[in-house]
Amino acid sequence: MKFTQPRLPYAPDALVPVISQTTIEYHYGKHEKAYIDTLNSLIEGTPFADMELEEIIRKSDGKLFNNASQAWNHIFYFFQFHPEGKREPSGALKDALTEQFGSVEDFKKKFEEAGATLFGSGWVWLSRDDKGKLFITQGSNASNPMTENLQPLLVFDVWEHAYYLDYQNRRAEYLKKLWDIVDWSVIENRYEE
């Protein structure tokens, strides 16, 4: 199986001013493309060539894991945004966030704090277990909650290339601004799967 980079569901300038067109072009256009291209070269002629991307993430390590997971993580990250998306959660997801974190606003603060305090590069995740319990986790480098038997729902990228062109060293500001483009209908669909 050869993996291809999906086309974003919005124009490269659609997330301005939260994420600039230049960042989209470099981050998704170049970084993500490199992960997918490297992944394809690594799996060629191996048993991984016939696996779904999620299975590769669960079964691989080293360079293969890093490229597979980064390819998946970036698609997951960029496809949760939309310039005209639903701006607040509702229904069962809102209820779960309120029950487990106190309120949606309290959840957002805890999520931002987890992203701001992650040392180095990585990801901050909202995931659920098979019983429906929600977790905020930090993960360095190419980490992915699927390796811990969790279902990812929401992710913020805290690698410097995700925000440095737009925010320089102001990671906390970048994390706070991302809520302005999160499409909660996407997160709700992930939660209900």
Same structural domain for residues 119 and 159?
A: yes
Please give the torsion angle defined by the CA atoms of residues 70, 124, 12 and 38, in that order, rounded to the nearest 10 degrees.
-10
Helices 33-43 and 62-78, packing angle to 10 deg: 140
**How much is the pLDDT for 17?**
97
Asked, for residue 39, whether it belongs to a domain, the answer is yes
Same structural domain for residues 72 and 99?
A: no
**How much is the pLDDT for 193?**
85
Residue 60 has, within 13 A of its CA and on its CB side, a CA count of 26
d(CA 111, CA 117): 10
User: What are the φ and ψ backbone dihedral angles of 40, each rounded to 5 degrees?
Assistant: -60, -40
When computed from its CA atoms, the radius of gyration of the chain, rounded to whole angstroms, is 16
Same structural domain for residues 70 and 146?
A: no
User: What are the φ and ψ backbone dihedral angles of 151, each rounded to 5 degrees?
Assistant: -100, 115
**How much is the pLDDT for 122?**
97
Asked, for residue 65, whether it belongs to a domain, the answer is yes
Same structural domain for residues 114 and 178?
A: yes
Same structural domain for residues 96 and 181?
A: yes
Same structural domain for residues 100 and 66?
A: no
Same structural domain for residues 120 and 186?
A: yes
Same structural domain for residues 138 and 185?
A: yes
Domain limits for position 120: 91-192
Q: In tens digits, what is the pLDDT along the chain, a chain of 193 residues?
A: 799 999 999 999 999 999 999 999 999 999 999 999 999 999 999 999 999 999 999 999 999 999 999 999 999 999 999 999 999 999 999 999 999 999 999 999 999 999 999 999 999 999 999 999 999 999 999 999 999 999 999 999 999 999 999 999 999 999 999 999 999 999 999 999 8
Same structural domain for residues 95 and 153?
A: yes
State the total domains in the chain: 2
**How much is the pLDDT for 159?**
96
Partners of residue 154 on adjacent β-strands: 126
Same structural domain for residues 126 and 183?
A: yes
Q: How many helices (H) and strands (E) does the chain have?
A: 9, 3
Same structural domain for residues 74 and 116?
A: no
d(CA 107, CA 89): 11
Same structural domain for residues 100 and 69?
A: no
**How much is the pLDDT for 33?**
96
**How much is the pLDDT for 78?**
98
Residue 178 has, within 13 A of its CA and on its CB side, a CA count of 26
d(CA 2, CA 49): 7
d(CA 101, CA 113): 13
Q: Report the Cα 17 to chain-centroid distance in Å.
A: 19
Strands (E), 15-76: none
**How much is the pLDDT for 1?**
73
For residue 8, give every residue at least 6 positions away whose Cβ sits within 8 Å of its Cβ, in sequence order, or none: 24, 28, 78, 79
